[in-house]
């Protein structure tokens, strides 16, 4: 830990204590605070994107509570959740994107989310290991390069309050230090790439026969949304440039090569097409 990381960590501790107290108080009144369906989310999170897309496609009304990365641990403490997305509605607190989509399917949306058991089987192959692998690859290239650190600071300022935007830069060194340790960066990159490659190769093989959707359905399903949403940070569709980054940004060269390789695959082309043609629906 260098001096800037140490000072940043001290600032985090000073700010986190009152935020933790507030989070604990809020946790006692969750059902009263959230009168409508609310998604607690990091704006750029690919797991959160899966929920946003499923809700938008189903025309479900919801609000978003954007989480500031600097207060991420204390926000999770409020809901006793391991990560985001967290969805609150009808007195329920759902703490996993899989649970959210499953619950949505019981609200009259099973006909398009899971039109057959095969869709659920295929979707299960795009699980947490795939999503975590995508995140590990992305954060490796962002945290270990000057260009990446600039882009990540910019992304962390999206959707948060003016005060939180001001806190991004001073808290960034502490967050970076903690996240690199928690994600095993810079180690573990090869394993993450192998896990992500396996899924991309599997989807590419399915799509080579010219099918429009992964499970040969007439409409988009949960399998399509899950793969496209979890894969998007390594494909960078322009439709998500406002919350993460764009192919046209000054990307770290190694990340650009990674994204280019995936964009050129049938699976990557599928993600780009789905965002262009379907994400606005």
105 contacts 53 by C-beta, under 8 angstroms: no
Per DSSP, the chain holds a count of helices (H) and strands (E) of 14, 4
**Vertex 137 angle, CA 133 and 142, to 5°:** 145
Radius of gyration of the CA atoms of the chain, in A? 19
pLDDT band at 194 (very low <50, low <70, confident <90, very high): very high
In the chain, the domains with their CATH numbers are: 3-113 (3.40.30.10), 119-278 (1.20.1050)
168 contacts 155 by C-beta, under 8 angstroms: no
pLDDT average, residue stretch 165-178: 96
Q: Does residue 140 register a pLDDT over 70?
A: yes
Question: Encoding tokens for residue 29?
Answer: 């009144």
Q: What is the pLDDT of residues 206-252, one digit of tens each?
A: 999 999 999 999 999 999 999 999 999 999 999 999 999 999 999 99
Q: Does residue 161 register a pLDDT over 80?
A: yes
What is the structure's pLDDT at 2? 87
What is the structure's pLDDT at 281? 54
- Which residues on adjacent β-strands are paired with residue 86? 40
Which DSSP string do the residues of 52-69 spell out, in sequence order? HHHHHHHT---EEEEPPG
What is the structure's pLDDT at 26? 78
122 vs 267: CA distance, rounded Å: 14
Q: Does residue 258 register a pLDDT over 80?
A: yes
Q: What is the pLDDT of residues 100-119, one digit of tens each?
A: 999 999 999 999 999 999 99
What end-to-end distance do the CA atoms of the chain give, in Å? Answer: 46
Q: What is the pLDDT of residues 62-81, one digit of tens each?
A: 999 999 999 999 999 999 99
263 vs 8: CA distance, rounded Å: 37
279 contacts 229 by C-beta, under 8 angstroms: no
Is 94 in a helix, a strand, or coil?
strand
**Mean pLDDT for all residues in the chain:** 94
Count the residues in the chain: 281
pLDDT band at 280 (very low <50, low <70, confident <90, very high): confident
Q: What is the pLDDT of residues 11-70, one digit of tens each?
A: 888 998 888 888 878 777 776 778 899 999 999 999 999 999 999 999 999 999 999 999
pLDDT band at 148 (very low <50, low <70, confident <90, very high): very high
212 vs 179: CA distance, rounded Å: 38
60 vs 83: CA distance, rounded Å: 22
Query: In angstroms, what CA-CA distances link 81 with 23, 41, 92, 97, 258?
Result: 12, 12, 13, 12, 31
224 contacts 126 by C-beta, under 8 angstroms: no
265: CB partners within 8 A, 6+ apart: 200, 204
């Amino acid at each position: 830990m260098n001096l800037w990381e140490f000072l940043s960590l001290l600032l985090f501790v000073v700010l986190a204590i009152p935020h933790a107290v507030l989070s604990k108080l809020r946790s006692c009144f969750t059902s009263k605070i959230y009168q409508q369906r609310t998604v607690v989310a990091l704006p750029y999170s690919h797991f959160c994107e899966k929920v946003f897309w499923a809700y938008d496609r189903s025309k479900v009304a919801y609000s978003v509570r954007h989480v500031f990365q600097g207060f991420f641990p204390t926000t999770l403490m409020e809901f006793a959740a391991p990560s985001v997305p967290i969805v609150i509605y009808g007195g329920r607190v759902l703490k996993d994107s899989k649970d959210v989509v499953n619950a949505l399917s019981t609200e009259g949306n099973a006909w398009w989310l899971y039109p057959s058991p095969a869709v659920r089987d295929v979707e299960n192959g795009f699980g947490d290991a795939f999503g975590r692998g995508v995140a590990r690859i992305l954060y490796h290239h962002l945290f270990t390069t000057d260009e990446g650190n600039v882009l990540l600071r910019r992304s962390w300022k999206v959707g948060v309050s003016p005060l939180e935007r001001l806190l991004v830069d001073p808290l960034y060194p502490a967050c970076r230090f903690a996240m690199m340790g928690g994600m095993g960066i810079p180690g573990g990159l090869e394993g993450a790439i192998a896990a992500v490659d396996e899924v991309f190769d599997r989807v590419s093989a399915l799509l080579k026969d010219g099918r429009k959707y992964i499970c040969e359905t007439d409409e988009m399903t949960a399998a399509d949304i899950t793969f496209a949403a979890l894969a998007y940070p390594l494909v960078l569709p322009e439709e998500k440039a406002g919350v993460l980054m764009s192919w046209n940004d000054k990307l770290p060269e190694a990340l650009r090569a990674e994204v280019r390789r995936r964009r050129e695959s049938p699976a990557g082309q599928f993600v780009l097409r789905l965002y262009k043609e379907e994400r606005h629906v």
